[in-house]
Chains A and B, each alone.
Chain A
Amino acid sequence: MRLRAGAVVLAVVLPTVLAACGGGTATGSQPLVADHVHGVVAGSQSAEIVLATHYGLEQSEDAGATWQADNGLGEEMVAAIVKLPSDYVASLQPMAGMQMPRMTAANMSTPGMSMGAASTPNIGYSNNTHRWYSGQGIPPGAAVAALAAGSNGSAVWASLIGFGIYESTDAGRSWQRMIPAAVPVSDLLVVGANLLFATPSGLFVTDAAAPSMPGLPELSQPVNDMTTLPNCGSCVVAALGSGGVAASRDGGVTWRQIADSPTFDELSAPPATSALFGMVPSAADANHGVWRSTDGGTTWTKVLTATLIDHLYAMPAAAGRPPEILAFQWGINVFSSADDGVTWSPLSHIPTP
């Protein structure tokens, strides 16, 4: 492993995250919220990246080297974002009892129907990330725990706390509740014809075309995260809440634990790379950092020792630029790797607004 200046960066970052993500207005003596990434998607141009962060959207047009605020969602906490072929769908997470910056009137699709208020939906759509419109059919004010793109270009799924699982078949414009559920659904993933969803009780699988609440989970233990593997349309891996990795080769129907790995909070298998990555953000965990597997999650090697890294993004090759993988650390600090995640270097910093 090689990490240039990583220790210096960490020393700078840690003080800023000591009270990270904690609502700056709640207690006057506490530090302000430290920003971090909630989602990463490609922009409309080849080297463009869009981040969903605690304080709105950030955009880079040069593969992560420099960043500027995309004010399309103001400084709202953008909890999740997915990219469809021609649209983006994002969710906001209003802070209960806290005064957060609101969207500007110019960005509201219809007065009184913006996103991110107690009386409005928390899911919206956009074709450019700059101007957003509210989705219809979402219970006003409902907290959105997860978003996932469907198997075709216009399907997207959402889990709403206290309401269940919703689907949109028109790229986020209208939504229908497909599975009522009182239990929280913390993650969603479409694998082929199957919809996988995680609850505190385990991982469930249903037919995405005719979804229903299964009587039994296919994986009977908490799952921290799951991802599909490139080059295998029915392969999915899951990070187990108690540590280890499980894998399925049949779209989530049957599972086998394949590794007694660290307890990964996040998994990522960026397209165009050959590796699977697991992330352990917590400094209290001796395994904190980014881990890499080249055999689908069976064996793991730690490639980056740093705390609070919880998102990766694969930057495809662009004109004159090799493909890179970016890692996002709370703060926000961006690391890059040009060798498929084997070695990492600090790339850029995004200051908290």
Chain B
Amino acid sequence: MTHAPRSLSRGHLAATGLVIGLLVSGLLTGCGSSTPGAASQSSPAVQRVTIDVNDSMRFVPSRIDVHPGRVTITLRDVGIVAHDLDIPSLHAVSPTVYGGKTVTMAFQVNTPGTYAFICDFHLTEGMVGTLIVSPAADAGTKP
């Protein structure tokens, strides 16, 4: 198999790394709606996100961007292995989704921050993701 060696050293990736470093440090910034995993908002009250789960034991996308409020996640199993989506710190767990099926979960998140979500069945296979809750653009203007 052919290969194409590429430098991945820090010096060549400083700009990208800075952005990621800020994220990891919990220094949240605003999240654009074009970001993969960003919620669509069909009404002011509910933000809707669709996540695929697969037999590679991954969430696609593995990052969700929302604002405080009500969130509905549609979990779509595109493989044959069953999964779930658990946000431990919010005590929000989806039903188990089986191959070819879809389930939904809804939860309320009020506090901006970074929340890890996991598949309870495949956590140690690396099936994790991040829910980024950033302040609403009009934060502070609502009662």
Contact = CB atoms under 8 A, between A and B. Distances in A.
Interface in A37-69: 38-39, 54
A23 to B, nearest CB: 5
Interface size grouping (class) on chain B = 35 or more
Interface of B: 1-10, 13-14, 16-18, 20-21, 23-26, 54-58, 62-63, 78-84, 86, 88-89, 93, 95-96, 98-99, 113-118, 120-126, 128-130
Interface string A141-172: 01111100000000000000110000000000
A308 B3 contact: no
Given A21-B82, A254-B10, A281-B56, A213 B25 contact: yes
A17 interface: yes
Given A20-B82, A22-B96, A308-B55, A259 B20 contact: no
Nearest to A204: B24
A177 to B, nearest CB: 15
Contacts of B95: 26-27
A306 interface: no
A261 B81 contact: no
A30 interface: yes
Interface in A262-283: 263, 265-266, 280-283
Given A143-B88, A284-B54, A299-B3, A93 B82 contact: no
Contacts of A145: 118, 123-124, 126, 128
A182 B26 contact: yes
Interface stretch (A129-137, A215-223, A318-326, A337-345): A215-223
Interface in A180-200: 181-184, 186-187, 198-200
A198 B124 contact: no
Nearest to A223: B126
Nearest to A95: B120
5 contacts: A202-B20, A204-B24, A220-B16, A284-B78, A285-B55
B121 to A, nearest CB: 4
B107 to A, nearest CB: 13
Nearest to A222: B62
B55 A284 contact: yes
A213 B23 CA distance: 12
B20 to A, nearest CB: 4
A258 interface: yes
A35 to B, nearest CB: 12
A258 to B, nearest CB: 6
Nearest to A199: B24
Given A202-B17, A217-B17, A257-B4, A187 B126 contact: yes
B122 A21 contact: yes
Given A184-B128, A259-B3, 4 more contacts: A77-B121, A213-B25, A217-B17, A255-B9
Contacts of B2: 260
